[in-house]
Amino acid sequence: MIVEKFDTFSGHRDSVFALAKGNDNNQFFSSGADGLVVRWNIEKPDVGELFAKIPTSVYALAYDDINNHLWIGQNFDGIQVLDILNKREIGSLKITSSSIFVIKLLDNQVFVGLSDGTVVVIDKQTLLTRKHIKASDKSVRAIDVNPKTQEIAIGYSDFTVKIFDLIDFSLKLVLQAHTNSVFALKYSPDFNFLLSGGRDAHLKVWNVASNYQLQHDIVAHLFAINDICYHPTLPLFATCSMDKSIKVWDGVNFKLKKVIDKARHASHGTSVNKLLWLKESALLVSGSDDRNVSVWKIS
């Protein structure tokens, strides 16, 4: 496996926490503690377009590729939805006075995870709140959906992953997943496995068909795992960590294939917070506390 740094995108004034793809295969969005939502083009790394300026930190972005809308989580306020083609606001929703850590889109539903332990379910078209899922007093840090089994997995700062029915949102299963906050959740592309990572630096693999039995427990990083992201076409996934590294793993046997770090690849010098794999180019994007966004070519 060969790793090359494609480029570095600079311009944020503080930590980068959120990444989302754009309407063009060469474009993506970033945001973070400075509240700046920036649109980037991988062919023009020196030219970032300020797309929105939010008065608070932004921990969560999500792109609706059907309507070309960008969903922005405004901490202590709510949700803002922007039409990225016409660069105008579609609507906003005051849903919380808490932090918004994650936004997950599925069909006509939007799941918003809050620091008070609530998941707000919103109708994507009408922007009306459909449901509040409250199963913990601790923060919701990660959400992923399994349409194959009609389940939604939610990771909490109470160290658990809770599995809910996607139809009626009833609680089906509680996984005593980690020894500290769960920061990352991702179903495998075939939806047969759920991967979880958290502050305890462990990567865990749960077998969905076997009622989420633990299949692998891997000491994957030195410090907290902040995100997990699958390659769009190959059986690979990447993790990033507070230990400043990005690691690439085999998606079949869950073995480590490559470490991307500052010493070997001039990677980030501080915590790596978010990953995004661009579908067409298969470039891996990473955002960090060092205020930079890096793009990696992995072949």
CATH code of the domain containing 177: 2.130.10.10
pLDDT at 113: 97
Q: What is the pTM of this model?
A: 0.95
Q: Which two tokens stand for residue 253?
A: 């046997």
**pLDDT value for 46:** 78
What's the pLDDT score for residue 230? 97
- Give tens-digit pLDDT for 10-37: 999 999 999 999 988 889 999 999 999 9
Decide if pLDDT at 273 tops 80. Answer: yes
Banded pLDDT at 180 (limits 50, 70, 90): very high
The mean of the pLDDT values for the chain is 95
d(CA 74, CA 72): 6
Phi, psi (degrees; rounded to nearest 5) at 264: -95, -30
Domain that holds residue 22: 17-224
Within a domain: 194: yes
Q: What percent of the chain has pLDDT over 90?
A: 89
pLDDT bin (cut points 50, 70, 90) of residue 279 is: confident
Residue 38, domain member (yes or no): yes
Domain contains 67 = yes
pLDDT digits (tens, 9 = 90+) for 193-230: 999 999 999 999 999 999 999 999 999 999 999 999 99
Question: Could you tell me what percent of the chain has a pLDDT over 70?
Answer: 100
- Rounded distance between C-alpha atoms, residue 7 and residue 10, angstroms: 10
Q: For position 28, what pLDDT does the model report?
A: 96
| 80 found inside a domain | yes
| Residue 114 near residue 140, CB atoms below 8 Å | yes
Does residue 99 lie within any of the structural domains? yes
The pLDDT value given to residue 25: 84
Q: Specify if 6 maps to a domain.
A: no
Tokens linked to 299: 């072949």
- From 103, 106, 118, select the one nearest 58 (Cα to Cα): 103
User: Beta strands of 166-235 (E only): which ranges?
Assistant: 171-175, 182-187, 193-198, 202-207, 213-219, 225-230
| Least confident interval from 40-49, 62-71, 282-291 | 40-49
| pLDDT above 80: residue 146 | yes
DSSP string, 115-145: TTSEEEEEETTT--EEEEEE--SSPEEEEEE
Within 13 Å and on the Cβ side, how many CA atoms surround 80?
Answer: 20
pLDDT at 281 over 80: no
What does each C-alpha distance from 231 to 75, 130, 252, 274, 281 come to in angstroms? 30, 32, 12, 14, 11
CA-wise closest residue to 281 among 298, 267, 266: 298
Task: Name beta bridge partners: 18.
Answer: 31
Q: Within 10 Å of residue 132's Cβ, how many Cβ atoms?
A: 12
Which pLDDT tens digit goes with each residue over 40-55? 999 887 789 999 999 9
Indicate the number of domains in the chain.
1
pLDDT at 43: 87
In which band, very low, low, confident or very high, does the pLDDT at 239 lie, cut at 50, 70 and 90?
A: very high
Return the sign of the alpha-carbon dihedral for residues 50, 56, 62, 67: negative
**CA-to-CA distance for 188 and 274, rounded, in angstroms?**
18
Q: What is the pLDDT of residues 82-119, one digit of tens each?
A: 999 998 999 999 988 899 999 999 999 999 999 999 99
Compute the chain's Rg from CA coordinates: 18
Inside any domain, residue 157:
yes
In a domain, 169, yes or no: yes
